[in-house]
Amino acid sequence: MGTAVRPAKTSPGPWDAFADVDAFVDQVLEELESMAKDGSRPMRSGPRPPLAGATLRKAVMAIWCVCFCGM
Per-residue pLDDT of the chain (71 residues; tens, 9 = 90+): 556 777 666 666 666 667 778 888 999 999 988 988 888 777 777 788 888 899 999 999 888 888 877 65
Q: Count the domains in the chain.
A: 1
Asked whether residue 66 is domain-assigned, the answer is yes
Dist CA 28 CA 2 (whole Å): 50
Helices (H), the chain: 21-38, 53-69
Within its chain, how far is the Cα of 8 from the centroid? 31
Has this prediction a pTM greater than 0.95? no
At residue 62, the 3 state secondary structure works out as: helix
Asked whether residue 63 is domain-assigned, the answer is yes
Closest Cα to residue 24, out of 62, 54, 50? 62
Domain that holds residue 62: 21-26+52-71
Asked whether residue 65 is domain-assigned, the answer is yes
